[in-house]
Chains A and B, each alone.
Chain A
Amino acid sequence: MKRKNPPAHRRNRILRRPWAALLATAALLVTAAPPAVADGAEAFIRSTADRVFTSYAEEVTDEQRATAFRDILTATFELRTIARFTLGRYWRVASSDQRKEYRRLFEDFLVLAYANRFRDLGGVKLRVTSVVTISKRDQLVQSEVDPGSGRPPIRIGWRVRETRHGYRIVDVIVDGISMSVTQRDQFAAAIRSSGGKVDGLLAMLRDKTGPRQ
């Protein structure tokens, strides 16, 4: 389909409601039909989330969870895209060595920050509530999990991109809070406070993540 593309965020706004309506209608019409293209992203998220929550349930120590999380992270996330996004406008001024080190540290940092963040969710079941196309390459798989013990359900949005290697996650949005945006914002602040130097952020990340195993 050829058309002039408004900026992505505008496009989202325009398409949001019609898409929702369209998907709802489509869902009604094809409930019995074999999985269509849109189900690819959904199936991918279902299996990935299953892996994550199962690993939370099975692994006992924080270290074990970290190892399991890193395996899932590198296999299912498009880390190169996320890394570039989270460095924001500083990506362009970073040298090739800085970029390389940043990408390595960023992966370690994600493991540190998120491997155990959702450990309470061991064994929960994911409910996919909708799948929306948000840009040419990206879909947003919206889902809910029930954390139990009377707490309200947690909304998890998975931004999925179709890459050369198949589907990959490019962002996770928990209760409306985007992981990528949060990291981008704090990294930008860290760089600003070190006088606009990417090396300042790298030093902080090195410090946080510690020596590599």
Chain B
Amino acid sequence: MMLLETERADGVNLGFGRRVRLTRTPDLGGPARVLIAVLCLGSLGPLGCATPPPPDDPEALESFRQTNDPFEPLNRVVFAVNIEADRYILKPVAYVYKETVPEPVQEGVGNFLQNLGSPVVFLNSVLQGDVDHAGETLLRFLINSSIGLAGTSDVAGEMGFVRRDEDFGQTLGVWGADAGPYIMLPFLGPSSTRDALGLVVDHFADPWTYLRYEKFNYARLGAEIVDARARNYELLNDLEKTSVDHYAAVRSLYRQDRRDAIRNGAEPDLPPLPDIPADEEELEDEEKEPARPPAQ
């Protein structure tokens, strides 16, 4: 709960996956989260918080617990606003960027931003006790910053030094912290209490935060947002078009993506799937409607 009052969160996760670190975020998240705290802690339940299912329904309770989205009603409102902001501002900008800027330039911009993120990735790799990846990240930074023309070219990647993003939310996860309640941040996208705290820590751990040129950090922020949106352009559009509950789909993807990032892509923990007995299968086959005519 402490987290809800934190000053500001610095990061964005557009749709799923590509976390973008922000520096100097406009302080939009703070008031909203104080509002959540007031609404929920002040037990004005229905206004801001999801009502837990009745205690006589253990399955529903278990699913409520697993989803871990006590602020769902408010989160959904924030999500709806984010979607509108995306539709009218970010998406058109990302589209123009994607369609007009030559691909090598886009690639260079992406590499440059990635390289700027290296110090934070390095620190978090160290904190996670992943010395190998810390070393790899350090080498990547040194190689790309020099031979790679200030980071615009991923020479190190071609040499086989693998890029992997690490942030403080992941570090906390490696240390055993649960993700905590799901939070939809205004303009910044899906997060959780743990990951939002991670964003704040990463912000202060990032050497570029202390750069004297304020404009640089604003430009970096803007570039990161547009770059991430453009890279996931089709994917995010498809997702919106093809989900029955866009909010819940994004939430599920975010949760799974973060777990995968914490595992560093190691084999996923897969749920048990139903085992359908053969006789039931046959019964279903008999019931099944007549086969549809072959596709043209």
Contact = CB atoms under 8 A, between A and B. Distances in A.
Interface of A: 7-9, 12-13, 16, 67, 70-71, 80-82, 84-85, 88-89, 91, 96, 100, 104, 109, 112-113, 116-117, 120, 132, 134-135, 137-138, 140, 142, 149-150, 152, 155, 157, 159, 161, 164, 170-171, 173, 175-178, 180-182, 185-190, 193, 201, 204-205, 208, 212-213
Contact of A201 (B243, B244, B249, B274): B244
Contacts, number: 136
Given A70-B295, A175-B17, A181 B271 contact: yes
Contacts of B248: 185-186, 188-190
Nearest to B291: A74
Contacts of B281: 80, 164
Given A16-B267, A176-B260, A204-B244, A185 B249 contact: yes
A143 to B, nearest CB: 13
Contacts of A213: 295
Nearest to B282: A164
Contacts of A89: 59, 63
B252 A182 contact: yes
A185 B252 contact: yes
Contacts of B99: none
Given A112-B242, A177-B256, A186-B245, A134 B270 contact: yes
A116 to B, nearest CB: 7
Contacts of B107: 149-150
Interface string B259-296: 11101010111111111101001001001110010011
Contacts of A177: 16, 253, 256-257, 260
Interface in B35-55: none
A13 B263 CA distance: 13
6 contacts: A85-B273, A176-B261, A176-B265, A182-B252, A182-B253, A188-B63
A67 B289 contact: no
A212 B288 CA distance: 17
Nearest to B255: A185
A155 to B, nearest CB: 6
A190 B245 contact: yes
Contact of B263 (A138, A150, A157, A176): A176
Contact of A12 (B17, B263, B269): B269
A113 B270 contact: no
Given A175-B260, A180-B271, 4 more contacts: A67-B295, A178-B256, A189-B245, A204-B244
Contact of A104 (B269, B274, B289): B289
Contact of B243 (A150, A159, A186): A186
Interface residues of B, number: 48
Contacts of B275: 137
A58 B200 CA distance: 47
Given A132-B267, A182-B252, A208-B244, A150 B273 contact: no
B287 A100 contact: yes
A73 B119 CA distance: 44
A152 B17 contact: no
A200 B247 CA distance: 16
Contacts of B247: 189
Contact of A186 (B252, B260, B289): B252
B265 A178 contact: no
A143 B273 CA distance: 21
B220 interface: no
B251 interface: yes
Contacts of B132: none
Task: Among B59, B154, B243, find the residue whose CB has the most chain A CB atoms closer than 10 A.
Answer: B243
B266 to A, nearest CB: 8
B276 A81 contact: yes
Contact of A176 (B235, B268, B292): B268
B56 interface: no
